[in-house]
Amino acid sequence: MTVVNEKENRKGVIYGVLVAVLGIILAAGTEFVFHGCGVHDDGNYGRCHYAQHVIVAFGILVAISALVSVFIKTKEALVAVSIITSVEAVIAILVPGIIVPLCMMETMRCNTLMRPFATIVSAIILIVSVGNLALIKFRKD
C-alpha cells in the first residue's frame, strides 16, 4: 500500500468533492428538473419512468463512491474509487435508451431532456474520473 502525501491527498479531496457534486447534480437534476414523462392517460407510467429511477440511483451511487475518496489515504484505494466512478458513469450513460428503453416518440421529454442531461453529466463524471486515474497513474512517487 502506498500512502499518499498531503498534496496528493488534497487532490484526492478535490476530486472526491467534485465528482460527488456531479453525482448529486445527476440524481437531483434527473429527479426534479430533467425528469422523464408523466403519467399516461390510463394511469400507468411509461418505460422512461423506470429509467429515471435507475439514473437517480446511479447518481447517488457516484456521489457516495466519490465521497469515500475524501477519506482515503492510499494510492491503490484512490485508483479503485476512480475506476468505480468511471464504471458507474458508463452505466449511467447506457441506462437511458439502451439498458432501460425510453418512450417511443423522440419528441417526448424523456428523449429530449432526460437522456441528453444524463448523458452529458455522466460523460463529465467519466472524464473527471479517467483524468484523475491518469493523474494518479502517471504521478511521480
Partner 1 sequence: MSADGFITLKQLYRKPVRTLGLILLGVILSLSIIGGTLIISGLRSGLDSLEDRLGADIMVVPVELRSKAGFNTDILQGNKGYYYVERDYLNSLYNGGIKGIGQISEQYYFATASADCCTAPMHLISYDPKTDFTIKPWIEVSYKDELKDCEIVIGYDINLEPGDVLYFFGVPCTVAARMEQTGTYLDTAVYTTQSTIEALIKNAIDNNLPAYTGTTAPSTHVSSVLINVADGYSIDEVLQAINENIDEVYAVKSKSLITNVAEGLTSVSGIISTLIIVIWILSISVMAVAFVMIVNERKKEFAIIRVTGASEKMMQKMIKKEAFIVSAVGSILGAVLGISVVSLFSESIENYLDLPFLLPSPANLLGIFILAIAAATISGSIAASFAVYRISRLDPALILQEDN
Find all residues with CB under 8 Å of 28, minimum gap 6, and list them.
59
Nearest distance from C-beta of residue 84 to partner 1, angstroms? 24
Q: Is residue 60 helix, strand or coil?
A: helix
Give whichever of 39 and 94 is closer to partner 1, judged by the CB atom.
Answer: 39
CA distances from 106 to 57, 77, 103, 116 (A): 24, 42, 7, 12
Using the minimum distance from each CB to partner 1, give the nearer residue, 75 or 115: 115
The residues that touch partner 1, with contacts defined as CB under 8 A, are 37-41, 46, 102-108, 111-113, 115-116, 119-120, 123
- What φ, ψ does residue 101 adopt, rounded to 5°? -70, 150
- Please say which residue, 76 or 106, places its beta carbon nearer to partner 1: 106
Q: Which is nearer to partner 1, 77 or 123 (CB)?
A: 123
Nearest approach, Cβ of residue 89 and partner 1 (Å): 15
Over the Cα atoms of the chain, what is R_g?
Answer: 17
Are the C-beta atoms of 47 and 102 separated by less than 8 Å? yes
